[in-house]
Amino acid sequence: MKFLRDLRSVLNLTVVVAGLGYFVDLFDITLYGVVRVSSLKDLGLNDQQIFDQGANIYTYQMVGMMIGGLIWGVLADKRGRLSVMFGSILLYSFANIANFFVWDVTSYAICRFLGGIGLAGELGAAITLVAESLPKEKRGLGTTIVATLGMLGILAAALVSEYIPWRWAYMAGGIMGLLLLVARFKVSESELFTKKTHPSRADPMLLLQGGRFPKYIFCILVGVPVYFTTGALFSFSVELAKGLNIQGAVTASKAILFGSIGLTAGDLLAGVLSQGLRSRKRAVGVHLGVGFLLMLVYVLAPGLTSTGIYVLCLLLGVSVGYWAVFVTMSAEQFGTNIRGTVATTVPNFVRGSAALIVFGYKELANHISVSSAALVVGVICFGLALVALSRMEETFSRDLDYEETPEGAKEAKGQALLE
């Protein structure tokens, strides 16, 4: 089959190492969600404190990712994609190891905040490096492989939490990150970055000029439903199940496990769909539409059992598993001199939106039922994403060898091309 031949043709060292880096990245991000209850209980918190303080720690992690996204994004365009991949993995690996030694909520929050800063650099640098290293007709397949390998990190975190004490699970994540550094030394920098004729144009302020800022915001909004689903429906499935009077016990680790299986399958499906349709926008649109309908079933269908919740988590994971296509599409919207900034900050602002999502959900749940709170927040997230997607450009066949100028034009091979 042509598809399998194309898939094998993009399995180079850069793609595999980038995918393994994303594996460790998502392992760490997911780990807190699956060990939240057991770790905070071990630190002496009661059920209400586990919900309140657990949400606060999650917020610290996501705020760290937003800050880290800005730091690593600028460095990616000024110093190169590889420098970010090295620096970020060192920081989040040591932060993970430090999590082994936490003794209270404050130390836990500090470690997750520092880990969030470190984690912020991995995905954007990896996707940018892979996208700039492959021909345009195959770069979607390359980033799909990266994301699929990464999603297996979510699955690994969910499985590890079932069999390994939470402190040792964090230690495992840190050690995996440090081991990955060895493979990183064999990866080359992006040729599009190294041959730039105007390095001084790597200015993140360009995002605020030439009509680029609305496009940048649209990129962020398209990804928000992913973290509404994982951050609220999966991570807080225990509290939701109680409020929905679900028959049978529901655990966050199992909800995330089934959801992560769906996310892995969904990322592969979205990549294949994008290649088949030759369109990033239509592939993401299909996933968003199905995800919205499944979200309504999750919070409105009466008489669900714990098994039904797990099945819905699996299906929801498939529906919002368009992460690779979404990040690739965001990177393709902008020129080489700010592409690293966009590819790094956009997914991290999406991740950071989870802090607002969880805060809004928690506050609404104090005044209305948990299912109604999830419904309100979910409708807002999916609605904004669909509107934003309709305003974005199709980038499937776009040549990435161009740079942005302050006037809002694209410059490629020495010629000015209108936006």
Q: How confident is the model at residue 304 (pLDDT cuts 50, 70, 90)?
A: confident
Residue 362 has pLDDT above 90, yes or no: no
- pLDDT given for residue 208 in this prediction: 75
Output the pLDDT for position 97. 92
Which residues, 6 or more positions from 106, have their beta carbon under 8 angstroms from its beta carbon? none
Which secondary-structure segment (H or E) carries 253?
helix 252-277
Question: What does the pLDDT average to over 69-77?
Answer: 78
Q: What pLDDT, on the 0 to 100 scale, is given for residue 201? A: 58
Distances (CA, A) of 178 to 85, 173, 379, 410: 12, 9, 40, 39
Q: What does the DSSP 8-state code read for residue 190?
A: P
Listed ranges 4-13, 70-79, 182-191, 364-373; the one with the highest mean pLDDT: 364-373
How far apart are alpha carbons 189 and 356 in whole angstroms? 35
* Host H or E run for residue 69: helix 47-78
> Can you give the pLDDT at residue 320?
93
Rounded CA-CA distance 231/381 in Å is 12
For the chain, count helices (H), then strands (E).
17, 3
Name, in order, each residue with C-beta under 8 angstroms of 205's C-beta and a sequence gap of 6 or more.
Answer: none
Domains identified in the chain and CATH numbers: 2-417 (1.20.1250.20)
CA distance 284 to 70: 25
Helix (H) or strand (E) holding 133: helix 122-133
Report the mean per-residue pLDDT for the chain.
81
Residue 86 pLDDT level (bands cut at 50, 70, 90): confident
Encoded tokens for 328: 């690739």
Span 342-366, average pLDDT: 82
Q: What is the pLDDT of residue 295?
A: 92
Provide the angle, in degrees to the nearest 10, between the axes of the packed helices 323-332 and 336-365.
130
More confident residue, 360 or 122: 360
Q: How confident is the model over 295-308, as a mean pLDDT?
A: 83
Listed ranges 116-125, 136-145, 378-387; the one with the highest mean pLDDT: 378-387
Using pLDDT thresholds of 50, 70 and 90, give the confidence band for residue 202: low
* Separation between Cα atoms, residue 143 and residue 163, nearest integer Å: 31
- Are the beta carbons of 333 and 270 closer than 8 angstroms? no
Say if CB 89 and CB 24 are below 8 A apart.
Answer: yes
Binned at pLDDT 50, 70 and 90, residue 113 comes out as very high
Helix%, strand%, coil% for the chain, nearest 5:
80, 0, 20
Task: Please list the residues that pair with 410 across neighbouring strands.
Answer: 404, 417
Residues constituting the chain: 419
Q: Name which of 124, 115, 355 is nearest 227 in CA terms.
A: 355
User: Which of 144, 174, 139 minimizes the C-alpha distance to 160?
Assistant: 174
Percent of all residues in the chain with a pLDDT value above 70, rounded to a whole number: 88
- 287 has pLDDT over 90: yes
pLDDT at 379 over 90: yes
DSSP classification of residue 305: B
Measure the CA–CA gap between 258 and 216, rounded to whole angstroms.
Answer: 32
Share of the chain above pLDDT 90, in %: 16
Report in angstroms the alpha-carbon separations of 89 from 95, 177, 180.
10, 6, 8
Which residues lie closer than 8 Å to 192 by C-beta, 6 or more apart? 132, 336, 400, 401
The two three-digit tokens of residue 276, written as one number: 């088949």
- Give the SS3 label for residue 203: coil
pLDDT at 417 over 50: no
Backbone angles phi, psi at 252, to 5 degrees: -65, -40
- 249-276 pLDDT, tens digit per residue, is 777 778 877 888 898 889 889 888 888 8
DSSP code of 107? H
Q: Residue 114 and residue 57: Cα distance in Å, rounded? A: 12
Neighbours of 49 (CB within 10 A): 14
71-91: string of b/e by CB count within 10 Å (b at 16+)? bbbbbbbbebbbbbbebbbeb
- Interval 131-175: pLDDT, tens: 777 777 777 778 778 877 887 887 788 787 778 888 998 998 889
Residue 108: its pLDDT value, please? Answer: 92
- pLDDT at residue 355 is higher than 90: no
pLDDT at 415: 43
